[in-house]
A and B are shown apart, each in its own frame.
Chain A
């Protein structure tokens, strides 16, 4: 310690005394990441989009998800729904079995289905029939105090109601307006869309699934992946628009046609056609560019005695990747398929269609008397990349996802114990992480909060509107 306590000497301070010492004291990268991301403690950190207010006049998954992305990042998203009915998606549930009750005060026997989950997290739920003349001014008031809006009606519907971008920018020039729907303007302007229509219409379903010669058919994804993906792409557009507005002070209109998304993610399909006139075909669980790089079927299930058929019959698939030459040699050695290696030593010989059929058939024959776990162990022990194709139960039980907070239990303030992934399953952020505060709320649950607290409308008026079913 220095004689004068006011004097600061480097040796008296805690921490490293030299650059070398600093390097030594740095925590291991793994530990640093755990501390920096700290899953489970997101609520102690600020929200990136706090202060942004967004209106969501949306239904189903695609457009609601674009707003939920903002809400998970901290925006105040007001979801406006049909009075007493709500978003149509509330009334859908896997096999009509997973509902949470109630939907609304007046409907104690009706619930909201799990189909609604993850697409409307953290939002404020308002009910309003905004297309009737009596409520238009209230809607405009919300527009004046909001940053943007997402809607999904047929092109021109909001314009007919004088609520499209060209009207709203006159009352709020900073307004960001998103139309998200099926086709957008063009020859198919009146075409509505669903995820499955998008997958079919934009060519994605035609290249998904095994080839017809192998008993396959064009296949849609079981989940509505195009809805989820399209919603996320809209959110990127919104964030870019907010950035643009900071520079210019002006809003933007985003027009997002859902059928664009499957074409965006179809890779080399269109360039290939443009170069050769080749119409791309399905190649299912294998890969058109790399071999071996696909999913094979093993003969025995990992859980032969399980009650659940998904466990009992489907725990038989393994993803194998051994496309570079040394890995392929090792794969052939370990599986005893040495003749195979002799025929296809170079990758360019293996990646053709016919060799792939031969190679994968031989691998499946080798795996016919083995379980999924045995195959994965044999291959990974030999240094080859292999992983079991897991179902959601196995993902839930996997320590990796638990530690990173990808899948977690949420004690929802209104609905109780819910297992979900939502915003935790996208990238992690050290300073402003995404979070899920609640999965959703009943129809009109926040009417008083918005109408009275935000817009200053007296309770007597709110009650009158409620009794007329305007809200």
Chain B
């Protein structure tokens, strides 16, 4: 389940009537300020497990922390704002989330503690026309993950199964 903010702010003599979708990946457990994609009104909300615990309360003059991903106007034939409209909606980044917490969780290690390339951005490989070498040289390409891996090995957190 996710919630929406149906913006009723009167702008230019008529209500805004924009539905701002609070996608569960980012807003599931979230407290902060978000904006209406159409009129820019900033709302404070506090969501717990996908439910609107507090808000939306208008916060005039304040800046939003996070924009909705998508918004539309159902009373005007579903005229909409797609993801990534500057200043209105945020870009779709497909971020993996931590289970239940709604926070981005970039995986660097598998469940047995060995490195797996589940984070971004990845450094581009030097080559022509998308050519990739046959080996991921983790030590050279991602030295910080390599160092973390060595630490894990020392602590005995790397297993065979």
Interface residues in chain A, defined as those with a beta carbon under 8 Å from any beta carbon in chain B: 84, 96-102, 104-106, 108-111, 127, 402, 409, 411-419, 441-449, 451, 459, 462-463, 465-466, 471
**Closest residue of A by beta carbon distance from B92:** A96
Pick the contact of B97 from A97, A402, A441, A471 — CB < 8 Å? A97
Tell whether, in the assembled complex, residue B129 and residue A444 are in contact, meaning their CB atoms are under 8 Å apart.
yes
Tell whether, in the assembled complex, residue A414 and residue B136 are in contact, meaning their CB atoms are under 8 Å apart.
yes
30 sampled A-B residue pairs with Cβ under 8 A:
A96-B94, A96-B96, A99-B96, A99-B118, A101-B120, A104-B130, A109-B120, A409-B114, A409-B161, A413-B136, A414-B117, A414-B134, A414-B136, A415-B136, A416-B115, A416-B116, A416-B136, A417-B115, A418-B110, A441-B132, A442-B130, A445-B131, A447-B128, A448-B131, A451-B129, A462-B129, A463-B129, A466-B128, A466-B129, A466-B130
CA distance A300 to B112 in the complex (A): 30
CA distance A99 to B106 in the complex (A): 9
Tell whether, in the assembled complex, residue A445 and residue B130 are in contact, meaning their CB atoms are under 8 Å apart.
yes
Interface residues in chain B, defined as those with a beta carbon under 8 Å from any beta carbon in chain A: 25, 93-94, 96-97, 109-112, 114-125, 127-132, 134-136, 138, 161
Residues of B within 8 A of A98 (CB): 96, 118
CB distance from B73 to the nearest CB of A (A): 26
CB distance from B57 to the nearest CB of A (A): 30
Tell whether, in the assembled complex, residue B130 and residue A443 are in contact, meaning their CB atoms are under 8 Å apart.
yes
CA distance A441 to B136 in the complex (A): 11
CB-based closest 10 A-B pairs: A444-B130, A417-B114, A108-B121, A466-B129, A445-B132, A417-B110, A416-B116, A97-B96, A102-B122, A101-B122
**Closest residue of A by beta carbon distance from B97:** A97
Tell whether, in the assembled complex, residue A102 and residue B118 are in contact, meaning their CB atoms are under 8 Å apart.
no
CB distance from A95 to the nearest CB of B (A): 8
Residues of B within 8 A of A451 (CB): 129
**Closest residue of B by beta carbon distance from A418:** B116
Tell whether, in the assembled complex, residue B129 and residue A108 are in contact, meaning their CB atoms are under 8 Å apart.
no
CA distance A127 to B128 in the complex (A): 13
Tell whether, in the assembled complex, residue A101 and residue B110 are in contact, meaning their CB atoms are under 8 Å apart.
no
CB distance from B144 to the nearest CB of A (A): 15
Residues of B within 8 A of A99 (CB): 94, 96, 118, 120
